[in-house]
Structure 1
C-alpha cells in the first residue's frame, strides 16, 4: 500500500511517501520554495515524493494529514471564548481567520491535491490522524525497537502538548497526556520570544546561548511560572503568558518577574539574557528527565522514543541518555511538524481499522533504524549538476570520485571552508553531510569566521562535529550512535585545555575566543559538542571524506553546519548551492564530482546574499 503523508498550514510543511511501511521519500516544502519554515500546502514536496517513486497521485492508496483541523478549531474557539473579555484582541484577530481561511482548509487541500492528480478521488483517500499520534508514530515505527516508551513534547497539537505512549510491534497505546495551555514547548517558545528571538525558529539559539550564563532564575521559574511535579506533569501560571489572551507570547508579568524588559531583536545580548537562557534550559532539562522517568515507570520499558519540537533539544537529550533513566533512546530526526507528515502516513499504515491485514512491523536485529540516515530528499545526477552549473555561469572542474575527495580533503586540511552537496537531501532541520558547509575543527578561528563571514549569524552559536562512528569514543566522552546530531556530550577530558585563572574569570561572550580543546571550533564553552556520528553504510561518501581528512591531520572530525545563511532554508539544488557559494566567503564548492574554486568564478556573479532572507 502506498500512503502519502502531509503536514501543512502552521509551519514546516512537508510531504512523505510510505510504501508497505517503508519510507520512500520525504522533504520539507521550504527547500523548494526557499521560504524558511514555509507553512503553505506542500505541493512541491508532494511532486518530488511521487517522482522519486515513479508514481502519480492516482497510484496512492491513502493520503494522511498529520492532525485533525476540527479538533484544533475546537481548541482555538474554546480558548478564545474562555478568556473573554480579556482576550478580545485575540478574539478579534484570530477568530475571523479560523472562521474563514482555516475552516476551509480541508476543502482547499482537496482542491490542491486534485490539481496535482486530476481524477485521483482525493476525498475518498483522505485520512486524518491526531497531531501527537503522528509524532509518536514518526518516533516509534522507524526506530530499531520492538517495544519502547514513547514521549512526545511540543507547543500544542489539537489539545495535547505532551503525551506518554507505549509502542509494541505494530501498535501504539496512549497512556496519558498534558493539555493546552500547559506546554513545555510553549514555555520555551515564550522565553525565546522574551529573549528577542523568533518564535518557532530561534529556540535552538537559546539552547546555544545557555552555556554562557548561570541558571540563577531557574528556582524563580519553578516557584512561580511552572509547577513541575515529580512525575513530570506540570502546569503553567498563565499570568506570565499572553498566548491565550493576546497576540504575543509573554506580557508585563514576565518582565516584572525577571527584572528586565523583553529584549528586542538584534539588541546587544547582555549577561542577564544569558542567565535567562541558562535558567530556561535547566528547567526544561529537569522536566524532560522527570517525564522520561515517569514514562519508563508507566510502561515498564527502558527504551525510549522521542518526537515533537522539544525533542530537538539535543542538550536535554544528551543529559537524559547519560542519566541512566533509559537504556537506549531514539529520536526522530524530523522531530518537529515536518516529521508529522511521515508519522501520519505510518500511523495510517499500521493503525487504520481497515488495515488489519497490514504486514506486521519487523525490526532488523542490528539495524539502527529505517530512516536511511534521513537521506530522503532529492538527488541530482552528473548531467543535471552540470546543466544547472552551466546555466548559473559557474566555472568548475569535473573530476572522478577519488580526485574530488582528494581535492576536498586537501582544501579542508588547508583551512578552507567547503560547501558540500552530495546525494539525497536530508529530511529534518539538520544538515548531515549531504547539504553541508564543512571546516577544520582544529582551527581556533574557524567557529567565529564561519559564523560571521559565511553564515552571517550571531557569533555565539556553536558548530557541530561530524566524527567517524568507529572513532567517536577517541574524541568524546560518548560511545553511542548519534547519526542525526541530536545528542550532546563532552569532548574527552584528555583533549581539553585547562583555563588560566584570568580566562576562568571571563563572563558571557568574552568566553567565546578562549581555546578550550584541540578541536576548538566544535567545542562549546562548557566543553560540550552536538555530535554527529557518520556511518559508512548510510553515507559512504561523507564517511570517506572524513577518513581522508583524518589521514592528513590525525583528526577524523569535521565541522558540519547546514549549507545556508541565516534566514535561508538549507540548499536543495546545485543552483541553490552555487548561489549561496557566490554570496558567502566559502572557498571551495563540491557538487557531485564537480569542484568549484571561488578564485575561478566570475566576480560579477557575486551578490549581497545575506540581505536576501528575513532574519530568523
Structure 2
C-alpha cells in the first residue's frame, strides 16, 4: 500500500511517500526549483518520491494534504468579523487569493494530480488531515517510543497554534489546544520582524543572535505582551500586534513599548536588537518549560515528541532535557510545514487505516537519519560533473577519506556531497560544508567567504556519537542537530576580566574553547551526533580526522549560500563550489580541487540568490 503526503501553498512545500508504513522518500520542493521556501505545488518533490519507489501516481492508494483549507477559510472570516471594520485592506488582499486559489484548493490539487497522470478515482483517493494532526503524527509515529506525550507549536494551522496529544502504539489523540490569534510562534515571528529579519525564514537568526544580548526586555514582554500561566497556557495582548488586521507583524504601540521602529533590511545590528533577541528567547524558553512540565504532570508521560516550527528552537529543546521533567525527547527533524507532508501520510496509515507502526532497527526511529532525498550513482555523478566542465579525480573510498580529512586538518573548507539528501532544514552530512573546529578563523571565514552571511551566525559541530559526552555536556543522541548544550569544561578557555566586560558583537572574536569555530559566545553548541549505523561514510571521515588531530568533530554547515536552498544535485554542488571559498569538493568518490578548475567557470555567487 502506497500513501503520498503533500504540503503546499504556504511555505516549504514537500512530498513524502510511504509503502506499507515504511518511509520510502521525502523532500522539499525548494531543493529542486532552487527557490528558497518554495510554496508551490511540489510536483518535482512528488515526482522524485514516485521515481524512488518505481511507481506511477496511479498506483498510489491514498493522497493526503496536510491541512484543511475550509477550516483556514473559516478562521480568516471569523478573524475579520471579530476585528471589523479594522483590517479591511489585509482582508481584501487575503480574500483575492482565497477566492482565486485556496477556497477551491481541492480542485487545484486534483487538477495538479491529473496533470501528473494520477489515474482514476482521484477525488476518492484524495484525503485531508488537520494541520496539527499532521505535525503530531510526524512527531509520534516515527519516534522510538511506544507511548509518549506529543507537543506541537507553530504560528497557526487551521485554528490551533499549540496542541497536546497522547500517543500509544498506533493511536494518537489530540486532547488540548490553544487557538489563534494566541501563538508562541507568531510572538517569536513578531520579534523576528521587529529585529529586521524575514518572518518564516529568519527566526533561527534571532535564536543565534540571542547570546550576544541580555534579556533586558523579558519582563516587559511578560508584563505587556504575553499573559503566561503556570501551566504554560497563554494569551497575547493583541493591541500590540498587527497580524490579525494589517500587513505587518507589529504596530506603533509595539514600537513605543520597545523604544523605536523596527530595524529594516540590512541595517547594522545594534545592542538593542541583541537584547530583544535575548529577551524573546528567554520568554519562549520559559513558556515551553512550563508547558512541558505541566504535560508530564497531567499525563504522567516521561517521553515527549515535538513538531511544529517552534520545535526547531534547539536552545529551548536542550533546556527541556536539562530541566529533568522529560526523560526522553524526540523531535521530528522536518518539524516545520515540510514535515506536515510526512505527518499527513502517517496519520492516514496509522489513524485512518489502523495499521501498525514501523521502526528502523539501525537508527532506532523510522526516519533513517532523515536521509530520505535523492542520491546519485558514481556514474551519474561523473557524467553530470563532466557536463559542467568540472575537473576531478575518482578515488577509492579510503583515498577520498584520507584526502578530505587531510584538507580539513590543513584548515580548508570542504564541500561534502554524499548519499541521499536530508529531509528538513538541517544538513546532516549528506549535503554539508565542513571545516576544522579548532581553527580560530574558520567561523568568520565560512560566514563571510563561503556562506556570504551575517558574521554573528554560529556553526554546528558534527561529533562522533561515542565521543559526544567527552566534548560536550550532552549525554543523549542528537542525530538531527536539534539540541543545544555547552562545551564540556575541560575544553573551555576562561575569559579574562577585560573580555568579560565586552558587550554584543565585541564578544564574537574572543576564543572560548579549543574548538572555537563551533563554540558560541555563551559556550553553547548546536550538536549533531554522528552514528556509524545511519551515515557510515560521514562517521568514517570524522574518525579519520580524529586520527590526524585528536579531535572527533568537524564544523558542519549546510551546503548553500545565504538565500539558497541546500544543494540537491552534483551540478548544484559544483556551481556553489565555483562561486564560493570552498577549496575541496567531494561528490561521491569524485574529488575536486579548486586550483585544478577552469578559471572561466568561477562565478560571483554572493548575489546569486535573494537574501533571506
TM exceeds 0.5?
A: yes
1:595 aligns with 2:591: yes
Question: Whole-Å Cα distance in 1 between the matches of residues 401 and 104 of structure 2?
Answer: 51
Q: Gaps spanning 5+ residues in structure 1: where?
A: none
1:288 corresponds to which residue?
Answer: 288
Structure 1 residue 173: Cα displacement? 1.4
Report the CA distance between 1:367 and its aligned residue: 5.3
Matched, 1:381 2:377: yes
C-alpha deviation, 1:285, in angstroms: 0.3
Listed one character per residue, the Cα deviations across residues 338-383 of structure 1 (whole Å, up to 9, x for unaligned) are: 000000000000111xx24x3x225578852110000000000011
Residue 161 of structure 1 aligns with which residue?
Answer: 161
Q: Distance in 1 between matches of 2:100 and 2:593?
A: 52
2:405 is aligned to 409
Find the counterpart in structure 1 of residue 228 from structure 2. 228
Distance 1:305 1:234 in 2: 21
With 144-153 and 99-108 compared, the bigger mean Cα shift is at 99-108
> 1:70 — aligned with what?
70
Instruction: Write out aligned runs for 1:382-401 (5 A).
Output: 382-401=378-397
Q: Which residue of 2 aligns with 1:198?
A: 198
1:548 equivalent to 2:544? Answer yes
| Structure 1: distance between partners of 2:260 and 2:303 | 42
Query: Cα offset for 1:114?
Result: 1.1
Q: Give SS of 1:611's match.
A: coil
Q: Matches of 1:141 and 1:520 in 2, distance apart?
A: 38
Alignment of 1:98-113 (within 5 A): 98-113=98-113
User: Does residue 1:519 correspond to 2:515, yes or no?
Assistant: yes
> In the superposition, relative to structure 1, how do residues 21 and 80 fare at CA in structure 2: closer, same or farther (>3 Å)?
same
**Residues 364/342 of structure 1: CA separation in 2 closer, same or farther (3 Å cut):** closer
- 2:557 aligns with one of 557, 561, 576: 561
Indicate the residue corresponding to 2:608 in structure 1: 612
SS in 1 for 2:606: helix
SS in 2 for 1:531: strand
Cross-structure match for 1:122: 122
**What CA deviation, in whole Å up to 9, does each residue of 1:434-465 have, x standing for no partner?**
00000000000100110000000000000000
Any runs of at least 4 consecutive aligned residues in structure 1 with deviations exceeding 6 A, and if so which?
none
* Residues 184-231 of structure 1, C-alpha deviations (whole Å, 9 max, x = no match): 000001110000000000000000000000001000100110000011
Change (3 A) 1:231 1:209: same
The answer to whether structure 1 residue 418 and structure 2 residue 424 are counterparts is no
Whether the aligned pair in 2 keeps the contact of 1:138 and 1:344 (CA below 8 Å) is: yes
**Aligned partners of 2:112, 2:189: CA distance in 1, in Å?**
31
1-structure distance, mates of 2:587, 2:218: 46
Deviates more, 1:119-128 or 1:187-196: 119-128
**Secondary structure of 2:474's aligned partner:** coil
Hey, what's the Cα distance between the residues in 1 that align with 2:66 and 2:142? 17
Aligned position for 1:261: 261
Residues 4 and 63, structure 1, Cα contact 8 Å, conserved in 2: yes
Matched with 1:463 is: 459
State the Cα distance separating 1:104 from its structure 2 match.
2.2
Q: Tell me if structure 1 keeps the 8 A contact 2:405–2:544.
A: yes
Q: Conserved in 2, the CA contact under 8 Å of 1:140 and 1:167?
A: yes
Residue in 2 aligned with 1:449? 445
| TM-score w.r.t. length of structure 2 | 0.99
Contact 1:394 1:578 in 2 (8 A): yes
Task: State whether structure 2 residue 327 is matched by structure 1 residue 331.
Answer: no
Cα distance per residue 1:478-535 (max 9 Å; x no partner): 1110000000000001110011111111110010000000000000000000000000
Deviation of residue 122 (structure 1)?
Answer: 1.7
Unaligned runs of 5+ in 2: none
| Partner SS state of residue 152, structure 2 | strand
Does residue 497 of the first structure (1) align with residue 469 of the second (2)?
no
Mapped contact 2:362–2:534 kept (Cα < 8 A): no
Residues 146 and 363, structure 1, Cα contact 8 Å, conserved in 2: no
- Whether the 8 Å CA contact 1:80–1:90 is kept in 2: the answer is no
Alignment-derived partner of residue 304 in structure 1? 304
- Does 2:466 correspond to 1:473? no
Pair 364,48 (structure 1): closer, same or farther in 2 beyond 3 Å: closer
Rounded Cα–Cα distance in structure 1 between residues aligned with 2:383 and 2:160: 48
Shift of residue 115 of structure 1? Answer: 1.2
Give the secondary structure class of the aligned counterpart of 2:173: strand
Offset of 1:118 from its aligned partner?
A: 4.3
Q: Distance in 2 between matches of 1:362 and 1:572?
A: 27
State how far apart, in whole Å, the 2-side matches of 1:515 and 1:274 are. 20
Distance 1:367 1:464 in 2: 21
- TM-score w.r.t. the length of structure 1 is 0.98
Q: Which residue number in structure 2 is paired with residue 275 of structure 1?
A: 275
Q: Which residue in 1 is equivalent to 2:13?
A: 13
- Paired with 1:593 and 1:512, the residues of 2 have a C-alpha distance of 37
Query: SS at 1:167's partner residue?
Result: strand
Distance in 2, matches of 1:478 and 1:507, equals: 28
1:81 shift after superposition: 2.4
Q: Which residue of 2 aligns with 1:371?
A: 367
